[in-house]
Amino acid sequence: MELSSSHDRADVVIVGAGPAGAVAARRFVEDGFSVVCIEQGDWPDYSRSHVADEYLELSAGKEWNPQPTVRRSFSDYPIDTSRSDVEPLIWNGVGGSAVMYAGIWMRLMPSDFRVRSLDGVADDWPLSYEDLAPFYERIERDFGVSGYPGDPAFPDIDSYPMKAAPIGPHGRMMAEAHNRLGWHWWPGSNAIATEDYRNQGACVQRGACMWGCINKAKASPDVTHWPDLLTQGVRLITRAVAQEIETDAAGRATAVVYTGDDGVTRRQEADVVVVAANGLGTPRLLQLSTSTRFPNGLANGSGLVGKRLMMHPFATVVGVFDDKLDPWKGVWGQPVYSLEFYETVKERGFVRGAKWNVTPTGGPQAMTAAFPWGGSEIWGEGFHDTVRDRLGHSLAWGIVAEDLPEEHNRVELDHSTRDRAGLPGVRMTYRTSQNTKDLLAFNVERASESLREAGAKETIVAPMIRETGWHILGTATMGEDAASSVVDQWGRAHEVPNLIIVDGSTWPTSSGMNPTPTIAAFSLRAIEHAVTERRSQAVSS
Partner 1 sequence: MTAAELTAAERSKLAAVADLLIPRASGMPSASEALVHEEFIDRVFSVRPDLADGVRSGLADIADPLPASFPELQARALPRVRALAEAVTAAYFLNPQVAQLVGYRKRSVIPIRFDEDLDALVSSVNARGPIYRPTP
Shortest distance (Å) from residue 365 CB to partner 1: 5
The residue within the footprint of partner 1, chosen from 5, 6, 152, 540 (CB under 8 A), is: 152
Burial of 7 (0-12, 13-18, 19+ CB in 10 A): exposed
CA dist 269 and 273 (Å) reads 9
Could you say which of 66, 279, 353, 392 contacts partner 1 (CB under 8 A)?
392
Which one of the spans 38-46, 111-119, 403-411, 452-460 is the region binding partner 1 (CB under 8 A)? 111-119
Indicate whether 175 belongs to the interface with partner 1 (CB under 8 A): yes
Residues contacting 6, CB < 8 A, separation 6+ = none
Query: How many angstroms separate the Cα of 271 from the Cα of each of 14, 255, 287?
Result: 11, 8, 21
DSSP-based three-state secondary structure for 398: strand
Which residues, 324 to 343, sit near partner 1 by CB under 8 A?
A: 328-330, 339-340, 342-343
CB of 534 to partner 1, least distance (A): 31
Instruction: Give how far the C-alpha of residue 463 lies from the chain's centroid of Cα atoms, to the nearest Å.
Output: 21
Q: Which is nearer to partner 1, 271 or 343 (CB)?
A: 343
Query: Are 60 and 363 contacting, i.e. CB atoms less than 8 angstroms apart?
Result: no
Q: Is 364 in the site for partner 1 (CB under 8 A)?
A: yes
Residues 463-522 that bind partner 1 (CB under 8 A): none
Residue 116 touching partner 1 (CB under 8 A): no
Kindly tell me which of 321 and 342 has the beta carbon lying closer to partner 1: 342
- From first CA to last CA, the distance across the chain in angstroms is 34
- 197: Cα within 13 Å, side-chain hemisphere: 25
The region of 3-11, 380-388, 430-438, 445-453 touching partner 1 under the rule CB under 8 A is: 380-388
**Closer by beta carbon to partner 1, 26 or else 178:** 178
CA angle 132, 136, 137 (to 5 degrees): 125
Q: How far is the CB of 508 from partner 1 (least distance, A)?
A: 14
Query: Using the rule CB under 8 A, which residue among 184, 420, 452, 466 binds partner 1?
Result: 184
- Among 13, 33, 98, smallest CA distance to 232 is for 33
- Binding to partner 1 in span 17-46, by CB under 8 A: none
Q: Does 73 bind partner 1 (CB under 8 A)?
A: no
Which member of 3, 32, 52, 141 binds partner 1 (CB under 8 A)?
52
**Identity of the residue, 158 or 381, whose beta carbon is nearer to partner 1 in the bound complex:** 381
Q: Which is nearer to partner 1, 49 or 302 (CB)?
A: 49
Q: Using the rule CB under 8 A, give the single segment among 264-272, 287-295, 361-369, 471-479 that binds partner 1.
A: 361-369
CB of 103 to partner 1, least distance (A): 15
Binding residues for partner 1 restricted to 210-239, rule: CB under 8 A: none
Closest C-alpha among 277, 245, 287, 256 to residue 411 = 287
Q: Is residue 154 near partner 1 by the rule CB under 8 A?
A: yes
Across 458-474, b (16+ Cβ under 10 Å) vs e yields ebbbbebbebbbbbbbb
CA dist 141 and 156 (Å) reads: 16
350 binds partner 1 (CB under 8 A): no
Q: Between β-strands 241-247 and 253-259, what pairing exists: parallel, antiparallel or unpaired? A: antiparallel
Please, what is the minimum distance in Å from the beta carbon of residue 71 to partner 1? 10
The HSE-up count of residue 144 (CA atoms within 13 Å, CB side) is 23
**Smallest distance from partner 1 to CB 349, Å:** 19
**Signed CA dihedral, 521, 527, 530, 531: sign only:** negative
